[in-house]
Amino acid sequence: MEANQTNIQAAMDRLVKRFNETVCVKFAAEAEQYAKTNAPWEDRTGDARKLLKGYVLGEDVQLDMRKQEDGKTVNSDTVTISGTGFAGFGVAHRVEYGKYLETANSNKYAILKPVIEAMRARFFQTAREVFGGKA
């Protein structure tokens, strides 16, 4: 790799890192709040809503998972989301029955996809502005 290519790659890496640390952090927090506010299910314990988590890609993301045991919420596992080399954000369930909420009753209780769909256009517009793409 030539020196100019190395400098360009290093500059792009810095730009992506800064994008993740600013824009994506903001969107992850907003996605988490949106999910908690708009989750369509009726709370029983409140854990599913409380444990929704917005996250930033860029590095591998580790989320501590929870489950109900003897009527209490306890740590159950750690899940890793491979985000290395990406720029972006996401939102995830941290309860063992999160997948059920997303898929049961013809997706009646789904929140993850609706969150991303609600924020997608604004996120990509912001990314185009930061990276100099055409609107």
Report whether pLDDT(13) > 90.
no
32 near 42, Cβ under 8 Å? no
For 74-97, what is the mean pLDDT? 88
The count of other CB atoms within 10 Å of the CB of residue 72 is 9
> What's the total number of domains in the chain?
1
pLDDT level of residue 2 (50, 70, 90 thresholds) = low
Report pLDDT digits (tens) over 20-43. 999 999 999 999 999 999 999 999
pTM of the entire predicted model: 0.85
**Residue 19: both structure tokens together:** 């994008």
Give the structural domain span for 106.
3-131
Task: Judge contact between 93 and 48, C-beta under 8 A.
Answer: yes
